[in-house]
Every structure is written in C-alpha cells, then in structure tokens.
Amino acid sequence: MRITFCGTGAGGAISRERANSSIHLEDGGVRLLLDCGPGFLERMVEAGLDPDGLLGVVYSHLHFDHAMGIVELFCRLLARRGPPLTVYGPRDTDAYIEAARGFAEVNLARPQMLEWLAGVGVQLTRPGDEREIGPFTVRSVEVPHAPQLECLARRFELGGRSLVYSGDTTYAPEALVPLAEGADLLIHEAYTQGAIERMAEQAGMSAKAREAMGGAIAATHSQAEEAGRIAQAAGARRLVLTHLLRTEREEKLLAAAGAVFDGEVLVARDGLALEV
Ligand SMILES: [Zn+2]
C-alpha cells in the first residue's frame, strides 16, 4: 500500500502549506481517497496523482473539512468515461451525496455526464461494518467527535499490511486501541495546547474567548500526546500526526507524541508519501 497526504490541515486552517483532510491510498493500481476536504484536488495533481480512475471515497465523517471536496471531484470526473465512483461513509452520507449531485448537475453539458453522475454509488458503512473495498479489507468503528455526527475510524488491510486512520476524534482508547492493534501505520489527528495559545495570541483573543476556543477543541479533538498513547497501547509500528492547526510546530508535536510512544513518529504534510 502507498499513501499520499493530499490535505493535512484542520477545518478553517487552509493555508498555502495545508489543504483540508484527504489521504490518497493506492495498491496495485486500485486507488481510494480517505476523506475529501477542500483543496485536495490541487494537492493530488501536485503529487502527480491522477484524479480520474479513483475507485471510491471513504469518509470518516461529514464535517466540511473532510467532505466538501466531493463536489469538486464530481465536476472534475463528469466528463470522463471511467468506471463509476462509489462513496462510502457514515450515517447520512446518502443525503449528503444527493445534495452534492445537485450542485454538480448544473455543470452537465452532455447526456453521458448525467449518466456518470447518476452512476455514483453510495454505501453506508456504519459502526462495526467490515467489508471488502477493492482489494482492501476495511473495518469501521465509531469514535467520539461531534454529538450530531456519526464519526468513524477505519482499518485497511491488504496482504498482511495494515493502516488505521482515526478520522476526527477525542481521546478514545476503547475504540482505537483494538482497531490499531499491531498496525503498521496509525494516522491520528492531533493538536497541542501551545498551538491553541499561539492562535489566540495572533487573533488578539480575550482570556475568556481563548478558554472557550480551547474548551471546544478539547471536547472534540485529541492531543498529540494522546495520539502517542493510542499508538503505544496498540503496539503500532509508526504514527503519523495530521489534521493540524496552522500554528502547530513540528518539534512540539514530535516531542509530545514521542514522549509516550516508542515507535517512529512523523508529522504529516501535504504531499508526504509513505509505503505501508
Ligand atoms: Zn470533524
């Protein structure tokens, strides 16, 4: 398996350096996108990855920074004659894709385009789901992130190799440690307290506003050290930290996770490619 990060920034943190969440997964010519956040398409092209011919998109959850790039992808693929795309996702992915189809439809110029768009498949992969997607065996478990959304972490296996992607989650060892057991690579979202403080400082926030922002992030996301604890408890071989705030510093992320995890830790950046 080969993965390429096509977006590593947290929601609202799009910058020249980081598009929103998207990971390209490839093996033997079969290609999937794990999440499809805004800005992913440019990063795919920059990485030399052809957006045509994707087998599917696998959503962790439907927050805009993981999901909204789908309209861009539909519009790009309308004119192609390739196989139909399938979108796999949690509860309500069917309604989301129906809406995305509507946005894409205004670009239809030929009957074949409508045919392609109508052929986009949707498969709901609810908590506990296990299935084959192309050559990959994919297991899904629910993780706690946003109360109104079903959020899923996934394990992809192929030929004895395994990759786990946390999606967005608070610290959830009960869900993620069993899922990531012995994984060759764990991709886990992460933030540091220092990044929140720098962000508040730059924005000139009051102490109250700073506390509210910190509380909101703590209630929905994981600290780098917590990601390290998951990797350590699961016995993962490598850990990649992603979904990063604009104000993160690589050395702080590495130090926080590395203090509790014995394996290799990497900080994701757009364009980073790894063999699993
Ligand atoms: Zn989210």
Per-residue CA distances from 14 to 38, 160, 245 (Å): 8, 35, 9
Query: Where do the domains of the chain lie?
Result: 2-275
Angstrom distance (rounded) from CA 257 to CA 251: 10
Q: How far is the CA of 163 from the centre of ligand 1 (A)?
A: 20
Helix H or strand E segment including 213: helix 207-218
Q: How far is the CA of 65 from the centre of ligand 1 (A)?
A: 7
Q: How far is the CA of 28 from the centre of ligand 1 (A)?
A: 30
Q: How far is the CA of 109 from the centre of ligand 1 (A)?
A: 34
82-86, 199-203, 245-249 — which is least confidently predicted?
A: 82-86
pLDDT of the residue at 13 = 66
Q: Is residue 81 predicted with pLDDT exceeding 70? A: no
Structure letter (DSSP) for residue 20: B
Residues with CB under 5 A from ligand 1 (ion): 63, 168
- pLDDT, averaged across the chain: 95
Ordered DSSP codes for 76-110: HHTT--SPPPEEEESTTHHHHHHHHHHHHHTT--S
- Where b means 16+ CB within 10 Å and e means fewer, 39-68 reads bbbebbeeeebebeebbbbbbbbbbebbbb
Q: Among 47, 51, 41, which Cα is nearest to 14's?
A: 41
Q: Is residue 273 predicted with pLDDT exceeding 80? A: yes
Contact 158, 135 (CB under 8 A): yes
Strongest mean pLDDT among 15-19, 73-77, 89-93: 89-93
Answer whether 0.85 is exceeded by the pTM.
yes
- Sign of torsion, CA 222 224 230 236? positive
Q: How far is the CA of 114 from the centre of ligand 1 (A)?
A: 31
Q: How far is the CA of 160 from the centre of ligand 1 (A)?
A: 30
pLDDT tens track for 246-264: 999 999 999 999 999 999 9
Contact 87, 123 (CB under 8 A): yes
Amino acid at 124: L
Average pLDDT over residues 170-179: 98
Q: How far is CA 233 from the centre of its chain?
A: 22
Q: Is residue 118 predicted with pLDDT exceeding 80? A: yes
Q: How far is the CA of 62 from the centre of ligand 1 (A)?
A: 7
Amino acid at 236: A
65-79, 98-112, 169-183 — which is least confidently predicted?
A: 98-112
Angstrom distance (rounded) from CA 11 to CA 7: 11
pLDDT tens track for 138-155: 999 999 999 999 999 999
Average pLDDT over residues 174-178: 98
Q: How far is the CA of 87 from the centre of ligand 1 (A)?
A: 18
Q: How far is the CA of 30 from the centre of ligand 1 (A)?
A: 27
Contact 170, 145 (CB under 8 A): yes
The domain made up of 2-275 has a fold known as Metallo-beta-lactamase; Chain A (3.60.15)
Average pLDDT over residues 90-112: 92
Q: How far is the CA of 64 from the centre of ligand 1 (A)?
A: 8
Q: How far is the CA of 244 from the centre of ligand 1 (A)?
A: 12
